[in-house]
Structure 1
């Protein structure tokens, strides 16, 4: 897939260098979408069986919650211009009295893809672990490009919860 994307990028760079009457007669390509719309991602996840909450904005972050297989997590939209966003982040906050920095660190040391961090419980609250997965999108590929990253997320999220003994919040 990367090889294909690289080849396409090189062809687009080389195209303006070509000259001749054939190039002048080539119709202009349709504009390529430069990101994903949160509404499209929400509809796609709903179609896959996820229970998707309403689109929200807080502290400048646009996101929605997803409830799937007993776990609640969020999809955050990054690098947005209008309603088109370049990047997506899957994120889950889970709580457990047994959560420790060592458990979170061992996850980060032994596992790829999902990064995690620890937040101590203050004022009698339960400590939490947050796990995140950043996905860079490719213009013009649509929401289907999230299929593989979503599969990774859905496979590793329960493993993370089990690893550190956390109960989903």
Structure 2
């Protein structure tokens, strides 16, 4: 083997070792606050409003692609929540049957669908953030939710 080839291989090996592993940005212990989630959404170009829903739960509302959706917070302590749930609902959907909802749940991942009162249809996606969650995990969950909720809307509205 030529000396030039050996030197090139050694330089490449050193640069790979020096780069080290990718570092994720860990979420704070205990999860996220509603304010952090709203700021994260806004930083990514999504609208975000913190408010109480009809049951009095404090949620964050946003939208994409003409679909309004909410983020609910679970396993909260001292303002930090370990789990979140993306949720979107449509009311008075004619022709929606349990068989059609079951077809979605059987064939698709991520969004769990169910029928509600007065011909409403709901889709939800749960994310466990703590312990061990990262901002990259949250980014991935939003990317997955954003594309899946648009497919879900097309599925239920035809």
Specify if TM > 0.5: yes
Please give the alpha-carbon distance, in whole angstroms, between the structure 1 residues aligned to 2:77 and 2:53: 14
Aligned twin of 1:98: 95
Aligned twin of 1:83: 79
Give the C-alpha shift of residue 47 in structure 1. 1.1
Q: Map residues 154-169 of structure 1 onto 2, 5 A cutoff.
A: 154-165=146-157
Counterpart secondary structure, 1:131: strand
Pair 1:140–1:39, CA change in 2 (3 A) = farther
Give the C-alpha shift of residue 141 in structure 1. 4.2
Aligned twin of 1:71: 67
Please give the alpha-carbon distance, in whole angstroms, between the structure 2 residues aligned to 1:84 and 1:153: 22
Please give the alpha-carbon distance, in whole angstroms, between the structure 2 residues aligned to 1:54 and 1:36: 14
Please give the alpha-carbon distance, in whole angstroms, between the structure 2 residues aligned to 1:58 and 1:78: 17
1:132 and 2:120 are equivalent in the alignment: no
1:152 and 2:144 are equivalent in the alignment: yes
Aligned match of 1:113 in 97, 110, 114?
A: 110
54-63 vs 64-73, greater mean Cα deviation: 54-63
User: Are the equivalent residues in 1 in contact too, given 2:65–2:150 (CA < 8 A)?
Assistant: no
Aligned twin of 1:48: 44
Please give the alpha-carbon distance, in whole angstroms, between the structure 2 residues aligned to 1:157 and 1:53: 19
Pair 1:119–1:140, CA change in 2 (3 A) = closer
Please give the alpha-carbon distance, in whole angstroms, between the structure 2 residues aligned to 1:57 and 1:143: 26
Larger Cα-atom Rg = 2
Structure 1 unaligned spans of 5+ = 1-31, 122-126
- How many residues matched? 130
Q: CA RMSD in A?
A: 2.0
Pair 1:35–1:48, CA change in 2 (3 A) = same
Give the C-alpha shift of residue 140 in structure 1. 5.9
